[in-house]
Amino acid sequence: MKRIALVLLILLFVAGSAFARPSSVAVGAQLGFAASGAVVDIGLGSLYLNAGVNYPLGITYIATTLDEEDVFVDIVTLTADVSQAFALSENFDIKVGIGTTAFTNFGPVILGLAGPVVKGEYWVPNKNFGLTLTLNIPVMGFGVIEDNEDFNGGVVFNPLFPLFGLVTSTIGVLYSF
């Protein structure tokens, strides 16, 4: 059984050299409850770096239901991940890695979640764009709050954190050039 698993791993790494994306740089947009905005995805061989600047539309929607005057929350969502790509077909890649989603007001508060990431990318044949699905599985929380006597930062693990993946996962589109 271990030999079969080893052979499958070797095949996945060898097959990972023929990726579906036409070039190593792609930009696009993602849509999700906690992160809707712009992303850039840069390939470095079979590793990919992804970073995004987003706005939490879902949180804003909840704020509109509370009859508040200022419904736009002053929070920015920053997303980042590093993943290994595996080509499953000519047009479909799966990426597995680690990532984070952080919420900040560009002031004294940064709160976030981090953990494994599984991404699927389907690239339309003979086109320079593709559709993406990013599934986050947070396993830890982190944060920093300056000038707070009760909490000044730290890392927290909780078995309920993977449930937050329901609101931090996104769908999107990428354009390569």
Q: What digits encode the pLDDT tens for the residues 45-101?
A: 889 999 999 999 988 888 788 766 666 778 899 999 999 999 999 999 999 999 999
Pairing of strands 140-145, 129-136: unpaired
| Tokens 């070039």 found at | 23
Q: What's phi and psi for 139, nearest 5 deg?
A: -125, -10
Residue 8 CB partners (closer than 8 Å, separation 6+) = none
Whether 161 and 142 have beta carbons less than 8 Å apart is answered as: no
Integer CA distances (angstroms), 35 to 58, 108, 111, 149, 160, in order:
8, 20, 14, 30, 20
Whether 136 and 165 have beta carbons less than 8 Å apart is answered as: yes
CA angle 117, 120, 121 (to 5 degrees): 130
Average pLDDT over residues 136-140: 96
148 or 13, which is more confident: 148
What pLDDT sits at residue 5? Answer: 59
Read off the pTM.
Answer: 0.80
63 or 143, which is more confident: 143
Residue 85's CB is within 10 A of a number of other CB atoms, namely 22
Residue type, 55: Y
What pLDDT sits at residue 24? Answer: 83
Whether 54 and 40 have beta carbons less than 8 Å apart is answered as: no
Q: Please determine, for residue 15, whether its predicted confidence score (pLDDT) is greater than 50.
A: no
* Burial class of 112 by CB neighbour count within 10 A (0 to 12, 13 to 18, 19+): buried
Average pLDDT over residues 15-39: 81
How many residues does this entry show for the chain? 177
Average pLDDT over residues 131-151: 87
What pLDDT sits at residue 47? Answer: 92
Distance CA 15, CA 12 (A): 5
